[in-house]
Every structure is written in C-alpha cells, then in structure tokens.
Amino acid sequence: MQAVKEVRAREGCGLKRIARRLVLVATVCALLAIILEFGTLVGAPLLTPLNLDHWRLKRIAIFFCFLVAVYAFWSVTKDRQMEGLSVKVCSWWLEAGASARVVSIVGVVAALPVLLVLFPTAASRVVGDGYDFRVPLIAAVAVFAAALLLLYREKIARQLEWGFLIISLSFGTLMCACMPVIAEVTWDGQIHFNSANAVSYVLDAEYSGADVLMTRFDAVLILDLLESGDVAAIWNPKQDAESVAAANEVMLVFDDSGFESVVGARRYGDTTWVSAASVGYLPLAVGLWTGRLLHLDCLGRFFLARTFSIVFHSLVFFFAIRRLRSGKTIVAALGLLPTPMLTAANFSYDPWCYALITYAFARYVGVLQSGSVFRRCDAWAIYGCFFLGALVKAVVFPLLLIMFVAPRRSFSSRKSEVRFRMAAIMVVLALLSSFAVPFIASGAAGGDVRGGANVSSAGQVAFILANPLSFLGILGEFCIGFFSPLNVVKGNNAFSGFPYLVMDPSRVACTAVVEWLVLVCAVLVDRDERDKAYRGPATKVACVVGACCAFALVATALYVSFTPVGYPGIGGVQPRYVLPFLAAVFLVFANFRNGPLLPEGRHVYAKAFLGVEWAIMAFVMIMMFVMSF
C-alpha cells in the first residue's frame, strides 16, 4: 500500500510539473505575441500602437499559435547535439586566440562595402553617382572568406559544416548586396515578394509605392533596367553602375509616394495569401517585418529580407551536414549549388523546400550511419522537416517511399518500427490533402493565368481521364526532352541555371559540368563502411521509384494548371523543380562504395573541396555581376 501511495505521489508531482510548464509556456508565448503585435504596429507606416483600434486580436492569436507550434516542434526534435552546439561555438572562437585580431580586421574591411550597399544615397554623395561598389565588394568578401578558410583550415577539415557556413554566408550575402533591386531576377520573384510582404503583416498588409512596384512583372521597364529581350519571355537587365544607381533612386522616390493597404489576409491585387505553400515565405516575411521595425527604406528592407532568406538556407544546411558521419561534402556541394543560392538570395519559397527536405534526408541517413535506432526526436525531425518543406511543393511526397525501407535493426522494437512507417503514411495523407482539398473545393475550374487563355484545370483533368494513353505518351516524351544533355548546353539545368542574370549559355553549361564533377568526386570519396547500412537494393529501388513518381506528379501538376487543354506538350516545368530530389539521389541512391576512395586523405580532400567551392562561387559572382555589364 505504501508503494502504491509513493507511485501516485510521484505521478501527481509529474503532472503538476507538466501543468506548471504548460502555464509558463503559454504565458511566455502570449507575452511574445503581444510584443510581436506591438512591433508590427510600430513598423507599419499607417498604423500605430497608440491607437487601440489598430490592435488586432486575431493577429495576436495567430502569433500565439505560431510561437506555441515553434516551441512544440523544438521540444520534440531537440537532442544533445543541438543542446551542446552553443557551447561548442563559444569554445571554438575562444580557441582562436591571437587569430581573433586578424579575423576582426578582415571582417571590418569586408563590412565597409556592405555599408555602401545599405546606404546607397550616402555613398553616392561621397564617391559620386558613377561609382560601382560591386567590384570592390566582391573582392573584399572573397578575401574575407578565403582568410577564414585558411586561418581555421585544420578545424574546418574535421568539421566541414563550418567551412560550408563561411562560404555560404559570405557569398550568399554578397549576392543579396549585388542583386538588382527588382524582384524578378529569379523565377516569379514579383509574385513571391507580394506574398512575403502580405505574410509579414499577417492581416491588413500595407504596401508602399516601392512595394507595389516590386509586385509588377514590368518593374524592369519602369525602372529602365531592360537591356534586351522581352519581359514576357527572356530578357537581360542592365547592370552598369549608372543604371543601377538611377533605378535605386527611382525606387526610393516610389517608396515615399504613399501607401496602400489591403483588408484581411490578402495580397496586393485582392488575392488571399492563405495557402499551405505560404509557409515557405516565413524567412522573407521575418526579414521584411524586421526592416519595417527598424524603419529602413525600401532598399534596406529588401536587402534584409534577402539576407534572412540566405541565412535560413545556410543554417539548415549547416545542421544537415552536421548530422552526417560521412557524405558531408555531398550535402555541402548541394547547399552551394549556384541556382539554389541565387533563389535563396532573392524572393522565393524554393529555398525553404530545398533546405528542409535535404535536412530530413540527412538526418535519416545520419541515424543509419551511427548504427543507433530511430528515437522519437529523430522521427519528429525527419517527418516534420519533410512535411514543412514539401508544403511548398506537396507533389514530391513519393520521396517518402525511402522511409519505408529503413532496416529493421534501426528500430528498438517492432512497435516503434510500425509507428515510424505509419508516421510516413500520415505525412503523405496530409500532403495529399494540402493540394487535393483546395482543388476539389474550388471546383478545379481555374488554372494558372500565366499559361494562357486556354488553361483550364477541370478541362485538362477531363482530357487526361478520357485519353490516359495519349497523356502517358506526352509525359514520356516530355521527360526524355527535359533530361536531355542538350538542356544543359542551353543553360536549362538545376545546378547553375540563371533566368535573367547570365545570358551566355556556354558559361552556365561549364559551371554545371564543374558542379557535376564536384558531386561525383564527393560521392566517390566521401564514403565509409557506415554507409553499408542503407545500400541495399530495396533502398535503390525506393529512390528510383520515389523520384520518378514525384517528377511525374510535378509534370502532371503543371500540365493541369499551366498547359492549355489537350496540348501535346507540357509547359511551365522549370529545372529548379528537381532540386528537392537531389538529396535522395546523391546522398541515398548514389551509395555504391564500401569505403572512401582516399581513406588516408579525407582531410586533404575536405580542404581541396572547400577551395574548389570557393573558386566556383567567386566565378559565379564575377559571371553574374561583372561579366554581364
């Protein structure tokens, strides 16, 4: 009896601790939600926290739910590796010792050109309107990154994720600084900016004249930045110093021309931003929100939003690399591909999808390499990150087929194995509902207006059901042409495809070939005995079937929503759509060796890899922002 009382007492104390913790979390999240609402009103030009009518309880409730969700996700996914990271970061910098002075000096030198970017009007008064800050900025940041790589080469060779972070953040922020002010220098940038700005307000979004201009596809004409081509197809922006300075001045004038507001959860143009894909705008939205809070002008807000996006991309890949025992250079090479770096440095939701799905596969592989079992935090992290990333492009859900072939020895019991497989099924069903339910609810009547006047989703679905064999022929012919080597020669590739900033296809093709070689070398060299755990034929088959089905669904989705009814081809499928597949292909499928090609020289290879990636990124910067003007 006494033992029963003691057990009940312990259970009671445990329940009380949980209750106290829940109350504490709810209280902190409520206070933070109120602070976020206050910051939103402080940053909004037409609103003020001093007017109680401007406060929105609905927006506070959304902030509260968001904070609770973030805390819950962190609680179920964190482990000792995450908890000890801050201690390791501090110890690493303390170990630098005398080198800290050198790093500080180089950092100051690299920061000076960035100040010229953030304050272009002040720079023009000092050095004149014809001054082109990009050349010294590229040189300074490249030297800064090289200095860090050399100073910490031994530690970076052992912990490659830090070398990746140096290159990614250095050249990523450099892209943000050198980027033309318009959003449409990457695919559909103006649409992504419109959504990101609306998400940053949650409700009752406000648009300055510059914000409205950023939502227009013809902004390049208004700012007189069109060098050649047609804005409805392929075009090339002006990038000479005088044109860029003049466009910035025009943008600043538009920024002061007044503000427009929309009611509710809507974007400019009276369309709602509420959709599953809008989760991909969170990094950009946080950057825009912070820029308004700091009362930056439009150039500062746009730069800060782009910077937040590249920081998110870099940090997620940093943690993905950190999870692996081998194959670190594979994921690092994927994170430093020029195309995803370019989209991460501009307005797009693709970086969110690409980074989180890559992290999900890296954590999955990391558990298999370690020889341990899947813990609850691993399952939550893998499926949570895949789900959040795939919400942007839900049709990639067949990639989860790989999770069904995880070896049984990686589970502590039969029950945990069943739970792991069932979780994958639940994620698949959730992703299916994220696009199937809105499609059915809307009656499937519309389509993507960019595809032309003859686009009708309902009509296209009826055509496919009536002519399944004809559609399979169209799909097969499209896939053969899409993956043809001629696409690389034309500059249409997922590795180094630039929609507007580089018009010479030979340079793009050469960069893609080099990136292919880097990835092939990484696949051959960066392997060891621990990779046997996921090398079976079932894994290979799951990768092939999952990737093929996912791409077929991508093409089918564009055929339904973008292509005219009955058209004998598929339009709108861009090379960047295959980016979420790369982690599964190169990290999981391309796993053939029993050990490293250079077992005695992996540290040497890591140094060489970082040197090559630094050179590639420097060449890409010169190709985009020096050779093009």
pLDDT (tens digit per residue) in 222-279: 888 888 777 777 788 888 888 888 888 889 899 888 888 898 888 998 788 888 888 9
Cα–Cα distance for residue pair 78/162, rounded to 1 Å = 20
Name the more confident of 505 and 413: 413
Check residue 483 and give its pLDDT. Answer: 83
pLDDT (tens digit per residue) in 145-180: 898 888 888 888 888 999 999 999 989 988 888 888
Check residue 127 and give its pLDDT. Answer: 46
Check residue 31 and give its pLDDT. Answer: 93
What's the mean pLDDT in 533-552? 89
HEC string for 65-110:
HHHHHHHHHHHHHCCHHHHCHHHHHHHHHHHHCCHHHHHHHHHHHH
Counting residues of the chain whose pLDDT is more than 90, the rounded percentage is: 30
pLDDT at 325 over 50: yes
pLDDT confidence bin for 572, thresholds 50/70/90:
confident
Check residue 123 and give its pLDDT. Answer: 46
> For 203, which DSSP code?
S
Q: Is the dihedral of CA 129, 132, 137, 139 positive or negative?
A: negative
pLDDT at 61 over 90: yes
pLDDT at 210 over 70: yes
Highest mean pLDDT out of 15-19, 59-63, 108-112, 222-226? 59-63
Other CB atoms within 10 A of residue 110 CB: 22
Residue count of the chain: 629
H helix runs in 442-503, sequence order: 457-466, 468-482, 485-489
Provide CB contacts within 8 A for 557, sequence distance 6+: 395
The answer to whether the CB of 58 falls within 8 A of the CB of 50 is no
H helix runs in 267-327, sequence order: 282-293, 298-322
What's the mean pLDDT in 281-302? 91
Distances (CA, A) of 492 to 192, 235, 319, 508, 509: 21, 15, 30, 9, 8
pLDDT (tens digit per residue) in 448-468: 545 555 677 778 888 888 888
pLDDT at 620 over 50: yes
pLDDT (tens digit per residue) in 74-125: 888 776 655 555 555 555 444 444 445 444 544 544 454 455 455 444 444 4
Q: Which residues lie across from 235 on neighbouring strands?
A: 229
Name the more confident of 354 and 237: 354
The answer to whether the CB of 344 falls within 8 A of the CB of 335 is no
pLDDT at 622 over 50: yes
| Terminal Cα-to-Cα distance of the chain (whole angstroms) | 86
